């Protein structure tokens, strides 16, 4: 038997600030690191310790200029009390990689592509010594993709021009002021209005470890009013890598004409980059065609997401939509046919095949996996529309229901199962008005409840966020450390329904315009916090705060933001303006005037008491001509393998 490993493209698989209150703090969390290096290595007899010199050093590199070098010397302390030069006998590691390379002789050489703060580690015999090398990076010139259209003397034109004319000032539109990016996100666009009579622009990114000035022309895609600048991938990487974990970067655009008659400067925006990359895979539901589930590899090299599961994977005609992935990315369960259907597809990601015949015996609408992927929880209330709806535990391999959890007369919806390694297992869910006639997709007057597994038995439901007439609270999700819960809240803008009455369309949890993301602590005792920055409109939204911020889902990692702070990531769907690009048309025009795109936002973990979120950005790999919903994360992008005779 031969095992064939297929590339993702063979299956149309996509390659896709304030701190929080002390009660929301993480529990025993570790941030990630990246390493790369070169060097010798081996056993040094009698070695007791190592030192590296110089312990700190700085280099400055300019694009197109010569590589800069720093020689290191490593001294070993030997058992007889002597010391000797072991520079060529140790191995070297560099973190983060890509800024410098270190030879086996201890010579660090810049790569000339970015700056940043680098840790150089010399190791032997299980011992190590570390040095810090700070590399500053400068780029001044035409964007590499526009060298044929930008005059070679563009920097001189802006240097010589001194007249400041307000009417010439460009206006920054996107990305949002105060946004945080992972450093490995690419395809980020800069949107701006050009100002009067400007034909030439200077886009500057000024941060602690990089000073980049890129000269460009205005590019206006069809149907767009204004300029959209997609930086050269290498140039954007230089901005991101140089400033990863290094605080704010100031973004500003200046405009003039080719003669330098007068100049105008935009407002300044501030962006940041986390120290750690974002990894794993993202699966989301799109309404394109007959709908599909898409997937994206954050560690991959492609630029757009493509279809993964389609109606061809069910019965040939039934759409797949709401879905959930096991944390390791090997298993997927999807609900087919939408509301009032709920047939389940159980899918083996590694073989790209159904693990059980479609459909499973039991229907369900919203599912969530446990931390080891052995079980998933679901529920189904579309049949009765009123009355209690209990939670069901499914076997993750066979798809059979192994347990029904009696909730004592509650109607459950939108369950989410905790993934944290320690602490009690928890399932949080929407507790729906059981007297109202509603589908699972459109619950009424929801609150947030949870149950916990103690001694092999699930507890009675506990209230986390109570229901409130005139509002709907729904779609809870537990953070990767098991300490926080995000959820949506909508306002019934057409009036407060009475108990038992189905909500009006403005607050039925189905892409409500007023949907806003809130955060609370699973331990309780803390008032929920609105994620004001994450929910905030951008410049192009013109103050509109009804942005349909729905389906919040956590990335499965806690990562390093900078030297002192950790960051978690959240995705949600929203009808907000993607800068100068409008949201896609809706799939169902009776529900909302706009379609939704998937947005991502970082949140700080640590002491404090205010909104922990940054502002959000649109994921650049999605198809922006169609609605996209419910982004689900896995820790790994699973390569498809098929056994063949």
pLDDT digits (tens, 9 = 90+) for 17-34: 333 332 333 222 223 333
| CATH assignment of the domain containing 367 | 2.120.10.30
Exposed e or buried b per residue across 342-357, where buried means at least 16 C-beta atoms within 10 angstroms of its C-beta = bbbbbbbbeebebbbe
Q: Do 342 and 220 belong together in one domain?
A: no
Q: What is the DSSP letter of 157?
A: H
Please tell me the predicted confidence (pLDDT) of residue 33.
36
Residue-level pLDDT at 1: 34
User: Do 368 and 467 reside in the same domain of the chain?
Assistant: yes
The position carrying tokens 């073989």 is 351
Last residue of a domain, one of 90, 119, 135: 135
pLDDT band for 317, please (50, 70, 90 cuts). confident
d(CA 370, CA 377): 8
User: Do 527 and 633 share a domain, yes or no?
Assistant: yes
Q: Is residue 638 classed as helix, strand or coil in its secondary structure?
A: coil
Output the average pLDDT for the chain.
89
- 6 pLDDT more than 90: no
Q: What span, in angstroms and rounded, lies between the C-alpha atoms of 73 and 105? A: 9
> Please, are residues 470 and 491 in contact by the beta-carbon 8 Å criterion?
yes
Could you report the per-residue pLDDT of 52-109, keeping only the tens digit for each? Answer: 999 999 999 998 789 999 999 999 999 988 999 999 999 999 998 889 999 999 999 9
The secondary structure element, H or E, covering residue 254 is: strand 249-256
Q: Are residues 226 and 372 in the same domain?
A: no
State yes or no: pLDDT of 243 exceeds 60. Answer: yes
In a domain, 26, yes or no: no
Q: Are residues 480 and 496 in the same domain?
A: yes
Of 381-385, 432-436, 445-449, 498-502, the poorest mean pLDDT is in: 498-502
Residue 526's pLDDT is 75
Other C-beta atoms closer than 10 Å to the C-beta of 149 total 13
- Above pLDDT 70, what percent of the chain? 90
Q: Are residues 399 and 526 in the same domain?
A: yes
Residue 50 lies in a domain: yes
Euclidean distance between CA atoms 251 and 503, whole angstroms: 44
For residue range 484-522, list pLDDT tens digits in order: 999 999 999 887 777 777 778 899 999 899 999 999 999
Per DSSP, which regions of 86-226 are E strands? Answer: 91-95, 100-102, 107-110, 116-124, 127-142, 171-174, 179-181, 190-193, 200-206, 210-216
- For residue 3, being part of any structural domain is answered with no
Same domain membership, residue 110 and residue 244: no
Q: What is the pLDDT of residues 525-574, one digit of tens each?
A: 778 999 999 999 999 999 999 999 999 999 999 999 998 999 999 999 99
Under 8 Å CB-to-CB from 539, ≥6 apart: which residues? 171, 172, 173, 174, 176, 579
From residue 46, alpha-carbon distances to 30, 75, 78, 124, 185 in Å are: 34, 13, 5, 11, 46
Residues contacting residue 145 through CB under 8 Å, at least 6 positions apart: 230, 232
Structure confidence at residue 502 (pLDDT): 75
Residue 25 lies in a domain: no
Six-digit token string for 120: 């150089």
- At residue 211, does pLDDT exceed 80? yes
Over 80: is that where the pLDDT of 35 sits? no
Indicate left, alpha or beta for 251 from its phi (over 0: left) and psi (-120 to 50: alpha). Answer: beta
Closest CA to 189 of 232, 148, 154: 232
Q: What would the two tokens of residue 33 be?
A: 């690191």
Q: What is the count of structural domains for the chain?
A: 3
Asked whether residue 11 is assigned to any structural domain, the reply reads no
Structural domain of 167 = 143-273
User: Is residue 4 one of the residues assigned to a domain?
Assistant: no
Token match 């929920």: residue? 528
Within 10 angstroms of residue 515's Cβ, the number of other Cβ atoms is 29
Residue 69: Cβ within 10 Å count: 12
6 within some domain:
no
The pLDDT score that the predictor gives to residue 26 is 29
Question: What number is the average pLDDT over the span 197-219?
Answer: 97
pLDDT given for residue 606 in this prediction: 62
Residues in the chain: 645
The answer, yes or no, to whether residue 289 has pLDDT greater than 90, is: no
Give the pLDDT mean for 249-265. Answer: 96
pLDDT tens digit sequence for 120-133: 999 999 999 999 99
On whether both 58 and 126 belong to a single domain, the answer is yes
- Among candidate residues 113, 135, 157, the one where a domain is terminated: 135
Q: Any idea what the CATH number is for the domain that residue 215 is in? A: 2.60.40.10
Quote the CA–CA distance of 540 and 489 in Å, as a whole number.
24
Residue ending a domain, choose from 273, 293, 320: 273
pLDDT digits (tens, 9 = 90+) for 572-587: 999 999 999 988 887 6
- 188 and 46 within one domain: no
Confidence tier at 240 by pLDDT (50, 70, 90): very high
Q: Do 260 and 158 share a structural domain?
A: yes
Is position 542 within any domain?
Answer: yes
- Which of 4-8, 65-69, 388-392 is least confident? 4-8
Q: Which residue has the tokens 């204004």?
A: 226
Q: What token pair was written down for 554?
A: 């956590």
123 and 181 together in one domain: no
Query: Omega into 54 within 30° of 0, i.e. cis?
Result: yes
* pLDDT at residue number 290: 61
What is the mean pLDDT of the segment spanning 348-369?
A: 94
Q: What is the reported pLDDT for 30?
A: 27
- Asked if omega into 550 is within 30° of 0 (cis), the reply is no
Please measure the distance between the N-terminal and C-terminal CA atoms of the chain and give it in whole angstroms.
5
Of 280-289, 363-372, 384-393, the one with minimum mean pLDDT is 280-289
The pTM (predicted TM-score) of the whole model is: 0.90
Residues 93 and 190 in one domain: no
């Amino acid at each position: 038997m031969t095992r064939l490993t297929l590339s993702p493209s063979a299956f149309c698989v996509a390659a896709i600030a304030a701190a929080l209150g002390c009660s929301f703090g993480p529990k025993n969390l570790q941030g990630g690191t990246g390493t790369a290096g070169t060097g010798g290595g081996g056993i040094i007899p009698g070695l007791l310790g190592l030192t590296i010199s110089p312990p700190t050093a700085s280099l400055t590199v300019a694009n197109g200029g010569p590589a800069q070098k720093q020689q290191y010397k490593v001294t070993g302390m030997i058992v007889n009390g002597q010391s000797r030069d072991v520079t060529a006998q140790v191995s070297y590691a560099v973190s983060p990689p890509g800024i410098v390379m270190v030879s086996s002789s201890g010579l660090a050489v810049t790569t000339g592509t970015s700056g940043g703060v680098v840790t150089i580690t010399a190791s032997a015999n299980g011992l190590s010594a570390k040095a810090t090398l700070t590399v500053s990076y400068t780029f001044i010139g035409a964007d590499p993709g526009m060298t044929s259209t930008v005059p070679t003397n563009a920097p001189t034109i802006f240097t010589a021009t001194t007249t400041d004319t307000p009417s010439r000032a460009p206006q920054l539109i996107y990305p949002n002021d105060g946004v945080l990016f992972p450093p490995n996100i690419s395809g980020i666009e800069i949107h701006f209005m050009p100002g009067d009579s400007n034909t030439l622009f200077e886009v500057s990114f000024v941060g602690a470890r990089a000073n980049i000035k890129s000269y460009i022309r205005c590019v206006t895609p069809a149907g767009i009013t204004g300029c959209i600048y997609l930086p050269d991938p290498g140039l954007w990487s230089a901005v991101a890598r140089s400033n990863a974990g290094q605080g704010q970067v100031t973004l500003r655009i200046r405009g003039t004409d080719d003669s330098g008659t007068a100049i105008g400067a935009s407002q300044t925006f501030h962006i940041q980059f986390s120290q750690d990359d974002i990894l794993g895979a993202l699966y989301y539901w799109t309404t394109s065609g007959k709908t599909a589930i898409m997937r994206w590899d954050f560690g991959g090299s492609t630029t757009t997401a493509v279809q993964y599961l389609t109606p061809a994977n069910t019965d040939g005609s039934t759409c797949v939509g709401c879905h959930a992935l096991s944390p390791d990315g090997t298993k997927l369960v999807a609900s087919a046919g939408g509301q009032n259907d709920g047939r389940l597809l159980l899918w083996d990601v590694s073989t790209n095949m159904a693990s059980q015949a479609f459909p499973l015996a039991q229907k369900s609408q919203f599912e969530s996996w446990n931390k080891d992927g052995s079980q998933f929880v679901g529920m189904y209330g579309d049949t009765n529309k009123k009355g209690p709806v209990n939670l069901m535990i499914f076997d993750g391999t066979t798809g059979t229901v192994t347990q029904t959890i009696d909730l004592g007369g509650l109607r459950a919806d939108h369950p989410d199962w905790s993934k944290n390694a320690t602490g009690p297992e928890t399932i949080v869910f929407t507790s729906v008005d059981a007297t109202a006639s509603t589908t699972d997709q459109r619950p009424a007057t929801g609150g947030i409840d949870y149950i916990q597994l103690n001694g092999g038995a699930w507890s009675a439901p506990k209230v986390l966020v109570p229901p409130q007439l005139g509002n709907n609270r729904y779609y809870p999700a537990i953070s990767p450390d098991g300490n926080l819960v995000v959820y949506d809240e909508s306002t019934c803008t057409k009036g407060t329904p009475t108990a038992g009455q189905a909500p009006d369309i403005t607050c039925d949890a189905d892409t409500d315009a007023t949907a806003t993301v809130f955060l609370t602590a699973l331990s309780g005792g803390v008032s929920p916090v609105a994620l004001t920055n994450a929910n905030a409109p951008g410049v192009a939204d013109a103050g509109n705060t009804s942005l349909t911020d729905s389906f919040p889902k956590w990335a499965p990692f806690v990562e390093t933001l900078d030297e002192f702070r950790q960051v978690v990531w959240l995705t949600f769907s929203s009808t907000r303006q993607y800068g100068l690009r409008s949201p896609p048309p809706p799939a169902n025009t009776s529900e909302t005037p706009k379609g939704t795109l998937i947005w991502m936002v970082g949140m700080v973990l640590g002491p404090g008491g205010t909104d922990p979120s940054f502002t959000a950005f649109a994921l650049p790999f999605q198809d922006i001509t169609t609605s996209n919903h419910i982004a689900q994360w896995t820790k790994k992008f699973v390569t498809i393998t098929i056994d063949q005779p």
